Amino acid sequence: MNKHMTSLAILLLCCVSRFVSSAEMDLIAHFDKILKPLLPDVKVTQVKPAPIADLYEVMMGTAVLYVTLDGAYALRGDLVDLKNRRNLTDAAQDQVRRDAIAGVDPATMISFVPERETKLDLYVFTDIDCSYCRKLHTEMSELLAHGIAVHYLAFPREGLESDAYRKAVAVWCSADRQKAITAAKAGMTVTAASCRDPVTEHFALGNQIGVSATPTVILKNGRYIGGYMPADELVARYIKD
């Protein structure tokens, strides 16, 4: 397997639950069989016709390939609608992330919401010990003042056997999650009884949609912002007063 296929395989992700027609199920099985010899760990999650004749958009989580029906040719890269000046590959990836975020129970997130109007929602996969996650949290007052809501999902970078995981569980099991995550991000020790926490589910979801570092910031429409961005830059780029 060449390095490009290997990097694609790293993005192997499970599909977010959604309605899938029998016709698409047949296409998923068809392309899954075609790609298995090249990408044995890949699971095809969505398939639909591309806007180019005889080409199909094959999704593997947020990874995208454009493949001919017979499996003879594949394209990897951005497909752009020049007439409408729209990146169709970005749009497909945004849709996967949008569906994923929409499927999360808001009660499982730790949300900081402006008292007045919310102008922008940030969904942030966070690690308690991550330095840039902590930096983002120190700017919470400024974000809220400008109408930016922050919704935290747990993503202990070192996995589910790490100290970061145990810290996240303690935070999410606290009676006052906002107070607990603020204390934890300030380096304080948070203790809490075990509970039916969502940390494992958040971590799995993050892996499914390609989260590999923290913080990973995603907008409500599924657009991937990336990592830490200073509050003033977020305001300048996304808030229109």
- Residues belonging to the active site: 127, 130, 133, 157
**b/e 51-90 (16+ beta carbons within 10 angstroms → b):** eeeebbbbbbbbbbbbbeeeeeebeeeebeeeeeeeebbb
Residue pair 87/80 in contact by the 8 Å Cβ criterion? yes
Judged by DSSP in three states, 59 sits in: strand
Burial class of residue 107, CB neighbours in 10 A (0-12, 13-18, 19+): exposed
Q: Inter-axis angle of helices 163-172 and 199-208, to 10 degrees?
A: 120
For 208, phi and psi rounded to 5 degrees?
-65, -35
CA distance 19 to 145: 39
Which residues fall within 8 angstroms of residue 29, CB to CB, at 6 or more apart? none
Exposure string over 187-214, b if 16+ CB within 10 A, otherwise e: eeebeeeeeebbbeebbebbbbbbbeeb
